[in-house]
Amino acid sequence: MKTVHIDASRSYDVRIGRGLLDDCGRQIAERVRCASAAVVADDTVYALYGERVCASLEAAGVRTVCYVFPHGEKSKNLLEYAKILNFLAENRVTRADALIALGGGVTGDLGGFAAATYLRGIPFVQLPTTLLAAVDSSVGGKTAVDLPAGKNLVGAFCQPSLVLCDPHVLSTLPDPIFYDGCAEVIKAAMLKSHTFFEDLDKTSPREQLEHILEFCIAMKRDVVEEDEFDTGARQMLNLGHTFGHAVEAASNFSISHGCAVSIGMVMMTRAAVKKGYCKEDVLEQLIALLKKYHLPTEVPYPASELLDIVRSDKKTMGSTVTLIVPEKIGRCTLVPIQAVDVLDWLTAGGAE
């Protein structure tokens, strides 16, 4: 087992090891010391792993109750959030207990936000079951739900008490879900390491899963420890997200988060080339790797349809939008622009 320690407002470990899902009860009981746990999962993940997780918790002496919600981004809303809060209250969950978020990014965001606000905060544990959640959303303490106006507009910073990543669970994911998570992996390479980018190009991700997890989680740890509340360096992690979130919302969430981020990275890099921030070969190498990982690279919506969504994104500050712009593979820069200039960047990125 490998451990990445994160020293934030709440210090915690991210543990990486095969078999951790079945050992989660002992791991959680030792670290969180909760009397009982509310396991939150969507219907798909609960059918696969819910009974195993509850059995492990019960064997460690932790009483469990389970809340199961319909899978998909459309469940990440205020109504479902309120249902979880009522469930916790009806089951008399207290601050001596914990919430266990078992699943992908939607579950982690939704369950984490409930844990952050119920009784003004109870401990919670992330058990990511997708690659995207393991390398990104389960680490760093961002929790949120969506509004009709945009993604993740209501939320809180709340660091988990523990994150357990079981590569065996991730290695059995269907290809579309697995490669969806690879968009965030490629984002990490674009941000921090040309060598890691080359590793991804040379070796199948399923053959280096532990290496991928450790690199991406350690990279995010460094950024979170420097800027936990997203006022400076942490904004770099939004590479591909400003335009990607707009694509995701314009599709009514029929385009997955990873696929949207893939498109967003291409848009931003194409615009960066046209505006002189990076060379053409950076765009060519990025597109080639994304295609190798079965990720989309074409912009599916016109700039006029994406414009208002980008302007209402939570990353907009007053009349300024901060873009994360590649300079080369392994290095990006923050570029604040005026909201009136967003259309120009969208068209430069390939949105007609």
Strands 162-165 and 124-128: parallel
Structure confidence at residue 187 as a pLDDT band (50, 70, 90): very high
Of 138-142, 179-183, 310-314, the least confident: 310-314
- The pLDDT confidence band at residue 151, using thresholds 50, 70 and 90, is confident
Kindly report, residue by residue over 41-76, the tens digit of the pLDDT.
999 999 999 999 999 999 999 999 999 999 999 999
Please say whether the beta carbons of 98 and 125 come within 8 A. Answer: yes
Give counts: helices (H), strands (E), the chain: 15, 12
Are the C-beta atoms of 240 and 262 separated by less than 8 Å? Answer: yes
131, 187 Cβ separation under 8 angstroms: no
Share of the chain above pLDDT 90, in %: 93
Cβ atoms of 100 and 125 closer than 8 Å: yes
pLDDT in tens, 1-14: 999 999 999 999 99
pLDDT at 233: 86
What pTM, to 2 d.p., does this model score? 0.92
- State the pLDDT at residue 236: 94
Residue 317: pLDDT band by 50, 70, 90 thresholds?
low
Strand 316-317 and strand 320-328: pairing? antiparallel
Give the residue among 310, 308, 290 at the shortest CA–CA distance from 298. 290
What is the mean predicted confidence (pLDDT) over 342-349?
96
Which band of pLDDT confidence, cut at 50, 70 and 90, is reported for residue 337? Answer: very high
**pLDDT recorded at residue 271:** 98
Mean pLDDT of the chain: 95
Residue bearing the bigger pLDDT, 311 or 201:
201
Average the pLDDT over 247-266 and give the result: 96
Q: CA 18, 19, 23: angle at the middle one, nearest 5? A: 140
pLDDT score at 314: 60
Which percentage of the chain shows pLDDT scores above 70? 99
Beta strands in the chain (DSSP E): 2-6, 12-16, 36-42, 63-69, 98-103, 124-128, 142-147, 150-157, 162-165, 316-317, 320-328, 331-338
Q: Under DSSP, is residue 342 helix (H, G, I), strand (E, B) or coil?
A: helix
Q: Tell me 122's DSSP state.
A: -
Q: Which pLDDT belongs to residue 316?
A: 65
